């Protein structure tokens, strides 16, 4: 069976991920129904399920309109009250997608929001706003301790796991990474690649876990280059990876 995962651009920089074969489709974090409905119609596909990672409007805003046309199962975090979610999920649950033959494991990655979840299948990760290419999500409801736990969990996945996050933030994240992790030639090569992609109107995503461990300062909190940059920024060398992560996140918030 041929499986496709494509990004549907929405708003200024969101991606709604659409998984499909020749007949069936599943969407992840549909903040807007219009691009989803347009794609389904243009490609003669039937929506069979919706997965959401957290409650922010740019990830769930299209649910009501999609459900009017396609009354399908909606999977989402059990600890966040999201109208339209029919199948609430917690850490360790699994999602078998109707028609596509895919099964995802549910990971608790609370940090960006209090109940944020991610969906993982071999080689594939839909992580919402927890991990971005070269960055991570803001702590709107969670703590640095939760963020460290979430990022560590994602970093432990197989290196070839493709990372489907939901914002095209890569170039802006890389601008911060150049300052927060200055001595990183692998990051510089990746930045040149991403700049070329964006110049041609192409997404920088998906990334991979292995790549993120090489270029993402939020996954490199024990490396000398990052520790030195934090010390230069704050006047104090972090005493732990958690302290480094906390300072990185605070720095990025005002960068």
Per-residue pLDDT for 2 more than 80? no
Whether 97 is in a domain gets the answer: yes
In angstroms, how far is the first alpha carbon of the chain from the final one?
Answer: 45
Whether 170 is in a domain gets the answer: yes
CATH for 59: 3.60.15.10
> Mind listing the pLDDT tens digit for each residue in 201-230?
999 999 999 999 999 999 999 999 999 999
State the residue range of the domain holding 67.
4-219
> Mind listing the pLDDT tens digit for each residue in 15-58?
999 999 999 999 999 999 999 999 999 999 999 999 999 999 99
Tokens of 64: 């009501």
Computed over every residue of the chain, the mean pLDDT equals 96
Mean pLDDT value of segment 8-16: 97
Mean pLDDT value of segment 197-202: 97
Mean pLDDT value of segment 231-242: 94
Whether 255 is in a domain gets the answer: no
Position of tokens 């499986």? 3
Which residues are catalytic, by number?
54, 56, 58-59, 112, 129, 167
Per-residue pLDDT for 98 more than 80? no
- Residue 41: its pLDDT value, please? 97
Mean pLDDT value of segment 222-241: 95
Whether 237 is in a domain gets the answer: no
Q: How many domains does the chain have?
A: 1
Of the candidates 89, 19, 10, 93, the one whose C-alpha atom is nearest the C-alpha of residue 57 is: 10
Neighbours of 171 (CB within 10 A): 15
Whether 246 is in a domain gets the answer: no
Per-residue pLDDT for 64 more than 60? yes
Whether 226 is in a domain gets the answer: no
Whether 178 is in a domain gets the answer: yes
Per-residue pLDDT for 1 more than 90? no
Whether 70 is in a domain gets the answer: yes
């Amino acid at each position: 069976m041929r499986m496709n995962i494509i990004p549907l651009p929405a708003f200024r920089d969101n991606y709604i991920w659409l998984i499909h074969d020749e007949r069936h489709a599943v969407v992840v974090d549909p903040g807007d129904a219009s691009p989803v409905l347009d794609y389904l119609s243009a490609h003669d596909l039937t929506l069979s399920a919706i997965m959401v990672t957290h409650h922010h409007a740019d990830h769930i805003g299209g649910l009501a309109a999609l459900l009017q046309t396609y009354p399908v199962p909606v999977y989402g975090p059990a600890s966040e009250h999201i109208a339209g979610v029919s199948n609430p999920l917690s850490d360790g649950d699994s999602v078998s997608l109707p028609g596509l033959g895919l099964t995802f494991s549910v990971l608790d990655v609370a940090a960006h929001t209090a109940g944020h979840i991610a969906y993982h299948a071999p080689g594939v990760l839909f992580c919402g706003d927890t991990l971005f290419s070269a960055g991570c999500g803001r702590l709107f409801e969670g703590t640095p301790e939760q963020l460290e736990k979430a990022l560590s969990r994602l970093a432990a996945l197989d290196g070839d796991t493709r990372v489907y996050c939901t914002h095209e933030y890569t170039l802006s994240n890389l601008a911060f990474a150049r300052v927060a992790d200055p001595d990183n030639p692998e990051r510089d090569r990746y930045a040149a690649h991403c700049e070329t992609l964006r110049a041609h109107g192409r997404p920088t995503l998906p990334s991979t876990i292995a790549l993120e461990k090489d270029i993402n300062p939020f996954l490199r909190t024990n490396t000398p280059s990052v520790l030195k940059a934090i010390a230069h920024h704050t006047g104090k060398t972090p005493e732990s990876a958690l302290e480094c992560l906390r300072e990185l996140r605070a720095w990025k918030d005002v960068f």
